[in-house]
Chain A
């Protein structure tokens, strides 16, 4: 049964644009919310907890494994640097021994140029590292 207060409120709403908007919007939103609420098909709390747990565990494993991979990468780089350095010393020794070994016909200037030298050292490092890299790759299988 409508009270006088309700009637006064109704009169106000009819004449107030803001309150009319509020009523229209609120009514539509509430009705929609109720309908969505009924038809929402959400997973159970146990399911959500279990998934969160699994994900946290996987992320923790990935994080824990990261230092191992970094250490292996650093070790590989160090090995490469050592190989390069050894190759450099070997080459300088060979160059010094060049005349007795019959390298006199080779243009000494060309071989002592930085680019040629770097190429030879890189080639030497590749020859040494290639079998190691192959072993590491194939050992996974």
Chain B
């Protein structure tokens, strides 16, 4: 309602303002591209698994990198940078989960997924295994999914997991133990440790 004609001075001022906005990014374009090429795929896979929704993972991936670029933080190492990125991704997934409270979709293989496997039986077995894991993961809490994924799929250390999820390092071991036990029971491959020692 209160708009007015835009003048050349306005355009010049807005150009300066927008250029400044990009200058505040965490890194320049070349550095970002290298970082992205290194980290995007594992982050996407992580998001796809903890949310159970590939299209949601696409959205959250873009949002995660945008927030990472706008973060006003200093990083001591590349590992620190990666952990922070995972933390952003995890928080975004949590926010979305709280807002939607939707049932986690089972990540069944897409109809026209390309596969390098030659044997059709291997393809079917692979699909069944992934479906079983998807169903089992859907029954876990979001925190449990994140812990397990970072530990066993991504190979993160307890310290890295603590940094990524915003938890205390001392609590990771017990949380991981419980989550692992639960998933193993759901997968039906683990044995209950009742009375048996390690």
Residues in chain A within 8 A of chain B (CB atoms):
15-22, 24-26, 28-33, 35-40, 42-43, 45-46, 48-49, 51-53, 55-57, 59-61, 63-64, 68-69, 72-73, 76, 136-137, 140
A18 to B107, CA, bound (A): 27
Q: Are A56 and B70 in contact (CB under 8 A)?
A: yes
> Cβ of B69 < 8 Å from any Cβ of A?
yes
B188: min CB distance to chain A, Å: 9
Q: Are A43 and B184 in contact (CB under 8 A)?
A: no
A57 to B66, CA, bound (A): 12
Among B18, B114, B133, find the residue whose CB has the most chain A CB atoms closer than 10 A: B18
B102: min CB distance to chain A, Å: 20
Q: Are B196 and A15 in contact (CB under 8 A)?
A: yes
A77: min CB distance to chain B, Å: 12
Of B3, B148, B193, the contact of A29 (CB 8 Å cutoff): B148
B45: min CB distance to chain A, Å: 4
A57 to B194, CA, bound (A): 59
A48: min CB distance to chain B, Å: 5
> How many of chain B's residues touch chain A, expressed as a range?
35 or more
> Cβ of B62 < 8 Å from any Cβ of A?
yes
Q: Are A29 and B149 in contact (CB under 8 A)?
A: yes
Q: How many A-B residue pairs have CB under 8 A?
A: 148
Chain B interface SS verdict (over half): helix
Q: Are A52 and B65 in contact (CB under 8 A)?
A: yes
Q: Are A45 and B32 in contact (CB under 8 A)?
A: yes
From known contacts A56-B22, A56-B25, A57-B18, infer whether A35 and B130 are also in contact, taking CB-CB under 8 Å: yes
List 13 A-B pairs, Cβ < 8 Å.
A17-B192, A21-B184, A21-B191, A25-B187, A28-B132, A28-B133, A39-B110, A39-B113, A48-B61, A55-B66, A57-B21, A59-B21, A60-B18
Interface window among B35-43, B77-85, B89-97 = B35-43
